[in-house]
Amino acid sequence: MTRLLTSQKFRRIAIQSTFVFLIAVFIISLVVTGQRNIAAQGIATGFGFLERTTGWPVNFSVIEISPRSTYALVLWAGLINTMLVGFLTLIFSTILGLILAFMRISSNTLMNFVGTAYVELFRNVPVILQVFFWYALLTHLPSPKQAYDLAGIGFLSNRGLMLAVPELSSTDWLTLLAALVAIMIGLFVTRGRGEARLKGLIAVGLIVVLFAVLLLTGRAPDTGLLSVPELKGLRFIGGMTLKPEFSALLIGLVLFGAAYIGEIIRGGLLSVDKGKLEAGVALGLSEFQTNRYVRIPLAFRAMLPSLSNQYVWLMKATTVGIAIGYPDYFAIVSTSINQAGQTMELIALLMGGFIVVNYSIGFLMNQINERIKLKGRS
């Protein structure tokens, strides 16, 4: 018995299993008590409400929804809205961040100053204030009747930016998308094979010509090629609209995120050991080659972990959209809580949605990290 107690292995296992057991007991008792108390209060629980229709409208959605849609569909639309603004933020803020990073490490004083000023300004003001600022700016534009005319193809007013778009049906768009994917695959498969690629390009050309011919001949005679926004009563009809809520949120997040991402990229670039760069030069690589084959690969590895962090953070920051009326996932959940009353279930869904999205980002970044990390070293 004493031998058992003094055995380090046994003690370790005993302590760990007791710990796990206590946590399990704690969680289970919380669940059971909570469940009993909810039942005692006569509050309905469960996810049955998801199949009920909402009865309230949503201002902006990528997929088609109406007040007659179910809660499940409306919540899904909210999640898509969050992902739309989130991923666009990641893309644009990375591009802008890259530019800022190069400005910051440049030896040109003016560029350096502009980069530094930008980072200090946008990094040090809370993101919600920035979003409010852009929203206030966009909603103080003139009303639709006095909208700025952008050369007849667009209008800028406090209802957003209205742009002319090609008059294509959803089938047309899908055809175009399919063609684009096919071209990408073709180009990828025929890498380095000149003759095959040439044939491929000819095929692509044929597709484009055929599509154009069908588009021009197959459509109803009086529809134009472009759908141009037109003022009718209180609003513009036709074209596409970038609403101020969406634009303000995107602009605010991109400008804010870029300041952070720029600093992460700059840190990565500066982290590369000077000796390695000199080694590259000593091997006879040009400056471009040193950057391309030595600096950037090493810098990318160094900045990837903080970059993943920043991406996840930015995705969560989309929730400030609720403050300016952008119907993101958080806003939809919040309204649903008020309308359906199933607070606990909806908060669980809210957390679940963000965990899935952010875990996917993390997973993707880890995969990239795995692919590019220096092999054979720890």
Partner 1 sequence: MKQKLLNLTAAATIAVSGATGAFAQDQGLLDTIIERDSLLCTGHNGSYLGFAEVDAQGAWQGFDIEFCKALATAILGSPDKLQIIPISWAQRFPAIQSGDIDVIIKVTGWTQTRDTELGLQYSRPYFVGPFYVMSKTELDAESIADLEGGVFCVNAGTTVERVLTDYMSTKGIEYEPLAFEKGEELRAALYAGRCDAIAGFGPFLSATRVNADNPDDYSIIGEPIALEPEGIVVNQGEDDLLDVVNWMVSALLMAEENGITQANVDEVKANPPSATVERLLGVTPGVGERLGISDDWAYNVIKAVGNYGEIYDRTIGEGSRYQLPRGLNNLWSNGGVMYPLVLD
| Piece in contact with partner 1 (CB under 8 A), picked from 16-24, 74-82, 172-180, 343-351 | 343-351
Starting at the earlier edge strand, list the strands of the sheet with 240-242.
148-150, 154-157, 160-163, 240-242
List 15, 20, 24, 38, residue binding partner 1 (CB under 8 A)? 38
| Piece in contact with partner 1 (CB under 8 A), picked from 34-42, 86-94, 101-109, 220-228 | 34-42
Q: How many angstroms separate the Cα of 107 from the Cα of each of 52, 103, 110, 112, 115?
A: 62, 8, 9, 7, 12
Distance CA 41, CA 27 (A): 21
The distance of closest approach from Cβ of residue 347 to partner 1 in the complex, given in angstroms and rounded to an integer, is: 6
List 4, 14, 22, 30, residue binding partner 1 (CB under 8 A)? 30
List 122, 264, 334, 354, residue binding partner 1 (CB under 8 A)? 334
- How many other C-beta atoms can be found within 10 angstroms of the C-beta atom of residue 229? 23
Which of residues 28 and 226 has its CB atom nearest to partner 1 in the complex?
A: 28
Residues 199-258 that bind partner 1 (CB under 8 A): 232-235, 237, 244-245
Q: Is 228 helix (H, G, I), strand (E, B) or coil?
A: coil
List 77, 83, 272, 340, residue binding partner 1 (CB under 8 A)? 340
The distance of closest approach from Cβ of residue 250 to partner 1 in the complex, given in angstroms and rounded to an integer, is: 17
Distance CA 251, CA 263 (A): 19
| Piece in contact with partner 1 (CB under 8 A), picked from 138-146, 197-205, 266-274, 287-295 | 138-146
Distance CA 148, CA 154 (A): 8
Which of residues 30 and 196 has its CB atom nearest to partner 1 in the complex?
A: 30
The tokens describing 237, both together, are 């009809």
The distance of closest approach from Cβ of residue 341 to partner 1 in the complex, given in angstroms and rounded to an integer, is: 4
Binding residues for partner 1, rule CB under 8 A, total 56
Which of residues 138 and 261 has its CB atom nearest to partner 1 in the complex?
A: 138
| Piece in contact with partner 1 (CB under 8 A), picked from 28-36, 175-183, 184-192, 360-368 | 28-36
Torsion angle defined by CA atoms of residues 207, 209, 211 and 217, in that order, rounded to the nearest 10 degrees = -150
Distance CA 246, CA 108 (A): 36
Does residue 317 contact residue 250 with C-beta atoms inside 8 Å?
no
Q: Across the chain, which distance is largest between two alpha carbons, in Å? A: 95
Which of residues 235 and 373 has its CB atom nearest to partner 1 in the complex?
A: 235
The distance of closest approach from Cβ of residue 337 to partner 1 in the complex, given in angstroms and rounded to an integer, is: 6
Distance CA 256, CA 124 (A): 9
Strands 235-237 and 226-227: unpaired
Does residue 112 contact residue 366 with C-beta atoms inside 8 Å?
no
| Piece in contact with partner 1 (CB under 8 A), picked from 210-218, 265-273, 321-329, 360-368 | 321-329
Residue 263 in the binding site for partner 1 (CB under 8 A): no
Q: Is 183 helix (H, G, I), strand (E, B) or coil?
A: helix
The distance of closest approach from Cβ of residue 76 to partner 1 in the complex, given in angstroms and rounded to an integer, is: 17
Residue 181 in the binding site for partner 1 (CB under 8 A): no
The neighbouring-strand residues paired with 154 are 150, 163
Residues 43-102 that bind partner 1 (CB under 8 A): 43-47, 49, 55-59, 67
The tokens describing 48, both together, are 């049955």
Instruction: Let me know how long the chain is.
Output: 378
Site of interaction with partner 1 (CB under 8 A): 27, 30-35, 37-38, 40-47, 49, 55-59, 67, 136, 139-140, 143, 158-159, 232-235, 237, 244-245, 322-325, 327, 331, 334-335, 337-345, 347-348
